[in-house]
Amino acid sequence: MINEISFSAKNIGKTYHNLLKDDTVALSDINLDIYKGEFISIIGPSGCGKSTLLRIIGGLDKPTTGTLTYSGGENPELGFVFQDSVLLPWKNVRENAGFPLKIKKIETEDNYKKLDELLELAGLEDFKDSLPRELSGGMKQRVSIVRALSYDAPMLLMDEPFGALDAITRDHLNIELLKIWDKTKKTVLFVTHSIEEAVFLSDKVIVMSPRPGRIKEIVNIDLPRPRDENTRNSEQFSKYNQYLREMIG
């Protein structure tokens, strides 16, 4: 049973101050506990502050009010995956995936062995020497996921990583991501515009209100794992999609 808190947000708010117009309140009164090993998605209408919340949790932005608490201390190791894979064009797949090991100066034999295991798990073992220009969009995103996991960060933050991909590739990568998550046991916080993607992936779905973004409801997704195409065809999957769609409006 999941019962150990990985991250807590208490009364988080974010206001952007503007000199020439009224201030913009992006987030208000966010209270959230995330438990270790959970897969949680954040959905809501455009402009509700989903990505802002993720950036604050990841330390890329600071809240105006409230406090953040991490189980790993004040400066936790976090992995990031964004919509753009941001690969270095002159480095091959293995070099891109292992770039954090170089930056952090932890290029040990054991770490590279783990990296190769992740590349194999992501279906990239035959493309280690390929350059980014030789990869499809889906393969590039798999490299970025492995890169975020390469230094064993306990928490993975993902901001619409499959948003620019076609529907077939996106569905396939959802299944691949769940395989990686099941193997690595990471805590995942996943921002998406797709209700179906959120339901398919998640243990819980956080529904946010229009700006200023607040947590409208946290919906537990009680679908059996492992999940596959049969999950998407189930009646319960459709019921969750309908419920969340009506909630968002």
The 3-state secondary structure of 129-157 reads CCCHHHCCHHHHHHHHHHHHHCCCCCEEE
Whether 38 maps to a domain, the answer reads yes
**How far apart (Å, rounded) are the C-alpha atoms in residues 41 and 156?**
12
**How far apart (Å, rounded) are the C-alpha atoms in residues 93 and 88?**
9
**How far apart (Å, rounded) are the C-alpha atoms in residues 13 and 40?**
20
Whether 150 maps to a domain, the answer reads no
Whether 84 maps to a domain, the answer reads no
Q: What is the dihedral of CA 241, 242, 246, 248, to 10 degrees?
A: 10
Amino acid at 146: V
Q: What is the pTM of this model?
A: 0.93
Q: Pull the structure tokens for residue 40.
A: 């949680």
pLDDT of amino acid 190: 98
Per-residue pLDDT tens listing for the chain (249 residues)? 457 899 999 999 999 988 777 889 999 999 999 999 999 999 999 999 999 999 999 999 999 999 999 987 777 889 999 989 999 999 999 999 999 999 999 999 999 999 999 999 999 999 999 999 999 999 999 999 999 999 988 899 999 999 989 999 999 999 999 999 999 999 999 999 999 999 999 999 999 999 999 999 999 999 999 999 999 999 999 999 999 999 998
Whether 134 maps to a domain, the answer reads no
Task: Collect all residues with Cβ–Cβ distance below 8 Å to 20 and sequence separation of at least 6.
Answer: none
CATH number at residue 246: 3.40.50.300
Number of domains in the chain: 1
Structural contact between residues 114 and 152, judged by C-beta atoms closer than 8 angstroms: yes
Whether 112 maps to a domain, the answer reads no
Exposed (0-12), middle (13-18) or buried (19+): which is 233, by Cβ within 10 Å? exposed
DSSP class of residue 188 equals: E
Within 10 A of 48 (CB to CB), how many other CB atoms are there?
Answer: 23
Exposed (0-12), middle (13-18) or buried (19+): which is 207, by Cβ within 10 Å? buried
Structural contact between residues 81 and 158, judged by C-beta atoms closer than 8 angstroms: yes
**How far apart (Å, rounded) are the C-alpha atoms in residues 103 and 116?**
18
DSSP class of residue 80 equals: E
Whether 201 maps to a domain, the answer reads yes
167-184 and 137-149 helices, crossing angle to 10°: 20
Structural domain for 245, as ranges: 1-76+155-166+188-209+219-249
| Whole-number Cα distances in Å, 169 to 55, 81, 98, 135, 138 | 26, 17, 24, 13, 6
Whether 249 maps to a domain, the answer reads yes
Q: What is the dihedral of CA 104, 108, 111, 117, to 10 degrees?
A: 130
Whether 27 maps to a domain, the answer reads yes
The radius of gyration of the chain from alpha carbons, rounded to an integer in Å, stands at 18
